[in-house]
Amino acid sequence: MAKKNTSVPADDADLDGVDFEAALNELETLVTQMEAGEMTLEASLSAFERGVKLTRHCQAALKNAELKVKVLTDENTLEDLDIEDLDDA
């Protein structure tokens, strides 16, 4: 009988230093591992818990980005680009 994967996800003590892309990559890896069905119940539960934390971290990063864009556009700091003006430069 084949030995089941008993690996446990990396420590999730602090996601503050993890950027969006790294968190998303880790989340995708966890999903792939879980879908393979080779993890023990304990490892699956741990991976699920880590995945929830990563998802929340990614959602917060996206919300912050959305708010920054909203602030910039509300303050009219972004201007429409007129292609004709570039030709005259």
Residues across the chain: 89
Would you kindly state where each structural domain of the chain is located, as residue ranges?
20-76
Given a cut of 80, whether residue 2 has pLDDT beyond it is no
- Stronger pLDDT, 7 or 57, i.e. the higher one: 57
Fold of 20-76: Helix Hairpins (1.10.287)
Say what percent of the chain tops pLDDT 90.
56
Q: What is the DSSP string of 42-85?
A: HHHHHHHHHHHHHHHHHHHHHHHHHHHHHHHHHTT-S----HHH
pLDDT at 1: 43
* pLDDT exceeds cutoff 90 at 14: no
Check residue 83 and give its pLDDT.
73
Q: Measure the CA–CA gap between 44 and 47, rounded to whole angstroms.
A: 5
Q: What average pLDDT does the structure give for the chain? A: 81
DSSP annotation of 3 reads P
> Rounded to 5 degrees, what are φ and ψ at 17?
-85, 0
